[in-house]
Amino acid sequence: MNKNSIVSKERLTGWLLLIPALLVLSLVFIYPIARAFWLSLLTENLGNQLQPEFSGLANYSRMLGDGRFWQSMGNTTIFTVISVILELILGLGIALVLNQSFRGRGIVRTITIIPWALPTAVMGLAWAWIFNDQYGVVNDILQRLGLIDLGINWLGSPTLAMTALIIADVWKTTPFISIILLAGLQSIPQDLYEAYAMDGANVWQSFSKITLPLLMPQILIALLFRFAQAFGVFDLIQVMTGGGPAGTTETVSIYIYSTVMRYLDFGYGAALIVVTFLLLITAVAIVSWFLNRLKVS
Amino acid sequence: MATLRDRKKLKLDTNFKQIILWISLVLIVIFFLVPIIWQVLTSVKLNEDISAIPTIYFPTRFTFRHYLELFERRPFLLYIFNSALVSIISTILCLTLGSPAAYALTRLKLPGENVILAGILIVTLFPYVLLFLGLLEIVKAVGLGNNYLALIIPYTAINLPLTILVMRSFFQQLPKDLEDAAKIDGYKIIPMLIEILLPMTLPALVTTGILTFIFAWNEYIFALTFITRDTMKTIPVATAQLGGSTLWDIPYGSIAAATILGTLPLVILVLVFQRRIVQGLTAGAVKG
């Protein structure tokens, strides 16, 4: 047996090991997206008894004039930007604290992971209970502090509902960011700080000159993951507000879900999926580009 | 004298730092634990105490009614069984498919492996809401509605990227000499994987398996869409759908009890495997 045939035999085995996983991945990830591209060119809704008809780009031109779509895009953007920024700041702070040495560090680290591990849909209920207008504990605390007289209808008024959702999301996903950033902090060599401190640098200087630049890859990775997840946020909103009041917390994902499951408008739902997908891919491409440049330099 | 003053200042500085550290620690612990503790307290309160105004923080009367009702009025045991079943089976499937794939992508120098890896990375970022319509069509076409497979297959798939990335970072750390020695001994790749590498991979498999189990247990949108029969629902969907007899009569106590029971397995996993979870998450996210 010569070397070439050994290599090609190894390759054959390699594909054999790889293909089952690739098949499952294609079935669940690639096919639905590709299918959405095709479905988005059809009209298939209750208006035509769910008989698919080819209608070109009609769904897309409908989207341009669909106020509800634009509102949901706006809501998604607000939710994503605010929650991800808050989570990054808080996550970094927590990672910095957990990177110190103190007694009971293991316990605190364990506690910080717990919210990450719990189901979002279930904990969304817990947060809805906390923000409940009649018996909610937030209202009770605010009343005891004398800040409000009557209970606030948190989930029933536009800005407050969004605030409650963002707080719940920050609670749930900041742990993920802290875990990633803590790992990054631990990989920064300690003598770098010592050398810098010898040159008379203060805490802030060593943070901005050493910690932040060296942590940048982890920050961008966390940002990438969190951005994609926040952009597609579904469980939390479905459980806490259902997109209400009056669509003011309706994100694109909630709109997609009702378009398909409630209005049975499959063609339009598919078009919404395609647009969301393309926006997401563009954003991911931009962040990955930054990440690559960072790795090179 | 100057040195003494310096030392005093230094001591003051470290004291100050200690105080800041402990205040932030207390705040962190409160922020992360309070919503859970609040659910625990709500779950053991009597209904009158739950709806008391002003709020009763620490109840003096306790009840386990809310817990019992979950089993008497609802098939809560079945919900737990459903969640456990789909999570465990999809975890096993995921490890069985993912580890060999990870090995192939680490060692076997396949043409186009970089493209495949990039694809796997991108796919981890897709929100599930982009997938459910296409999957719903498949589920309907194949008649998998209200079938555990309608959850097991997607759960296997959504966890495959993470599994491949974590296992790949494990295989990369493995000394290559071992495999070379095995090959010289006449092992073919697949028997070598099973007889030599598998036992060594066990810790990494446990790490990955914990993560995939958690993700499967927590999944909501597929479970909401593909399973409509009450006795087949999983914990997140069943808990979210616990309702009262009227719109206004929301059973907060039962919801709280369901929250505690449904998340208990995960809390235990975190308490026992904290270190592994952190390892797995960072290997999956950072090294990929």
> Are B220 and A235 a contacting pair at CB < 8 A?
yes
Q: Measure the CA–CA gap between A14 and B108, rounded to whole angstroms.
A: 6
Closest in A125, A140, A234 to B54, CB measured: A140
Q: Could you give the CA distance from residue B190 to residue B121 in angstroms, rounded to a whole number?
A: 26
B1 pLDDT more than 60: no
Mutate to test the interface with B, among A122, A155, A178, A250 (most CBs of B within 10 A): A122
Residue B173 C-alpha from the chain's centroid: 25
Domain ranges of chain A: 66-296
Q: What is the pLDDT of residues A39-77, one digit of tens each?
A: 999 998 998 888 888 998 999 999 999 999 999 999 999
Share of chain A above pLDDT 70, in %: 98
The residue in chain B having the minimum alpha-carbon distance to the alpha carbon of residue A186 is B282
Structure confidence by residue, pLDDT tens digits, A137-164: 999 999 999 898 888 899 999 999 999 9
Measured CA to CA, the distance from residue B45 to residue A121 in angstroms comes to 23
Determine whether the interchain pair B109/A11 forms a contact, defined as Cβ–Cβ distance below 8 Å.
Answer: yes
Tell if the CB–CB gap between A234 and B282 is shorter than 8 Å. no
Listing DSSP states for chain B in one string gives -HHHHHHHHHHHHHHHHHHHHHHHHHHHHHHHHHHHHHHHHHHTS-HHHHT-SS--SS-SS---HHHHHHHHTS-HHHHHHHHHHHHHHHHHHHHHHHHHHHHHHHHS--TTHHHHHHHHHHHTT--GGGTHHHHHHHHHHHT-TT-THHHHHHHHHHHHHHHHHHHHHHHHHS-HHHHHHHHHTT--HHHHIIIIIHHHHHHHHHHHHHHHHHHHHH--HHHHHH--SGGG--HHHHHHT---SSSS---HHHHHHHHHHHHHHHHHHHHHHHHHHHHHHHIIIII-
Whether chain B has a CB inside 8 Å of the CB on A175: the answer is: yes
Q: Minimal Cα distance from A26: which residue of B?
A: B157
Give contacts of A 49-88 with B, CB under 8 A: none
Nearest CB to B42: which of A24, A122, A129? A129
Q: Kindly determine whether residue A126 and residue B38, on different chains, have CB atoms separated by under 8 Å.
A: yes
| Mean pLDDT value across chain B | 89
Residues of A in contact with B103 (CB under 8 A): 17
ipTM of the complex: 0.92
Mean pLDDT of A277-285: 92
The answer for residues whose C-beta is within 8 angstroms of residue A265's C-beta and 6 or more apart is A44, A45, A46, A259
CB atoms B123 and A25 under 8 Å: yes
> What are the pLDDT digits (tens) for A157-196?
999 999 999 999 999 999 999 999 999 999 888 888 888 8
Distances (CA, A) of B248 to A103, B155, B245, B251: 47, 35, 8, 9
Read off the pLDDT band of B3 (50, 70, 90): low
Chain A stretch 244-283, residues whose beta carbon is closer than 8 A to a beta carbon of chain B: 253, 256-257, 260-261, 266, 269-270, 273, 276-277, 280-281
User: Is B225 in Cβ contact with A15 (below 8 Å)?
Assistant: no
Write out B48-116 in H/E/C secondary structure.
Answer: HHHCCCCCCCCCCCCCCHHHHHHHHCCCHHHHHHHHHHHHHHHHHHHHHHHHHHHHHHHHCCCCCHHHH
CA distance B71 to chain A (A): 18
> Pick from A28, A18, A154, A72: which is nearest to B117 by CA?
A18
Pick B259's closest partner by Cβ from A112, A125, A137.
A125
**CATH architecture entry for A66-296:** Orthogonal Bundle (1.10)
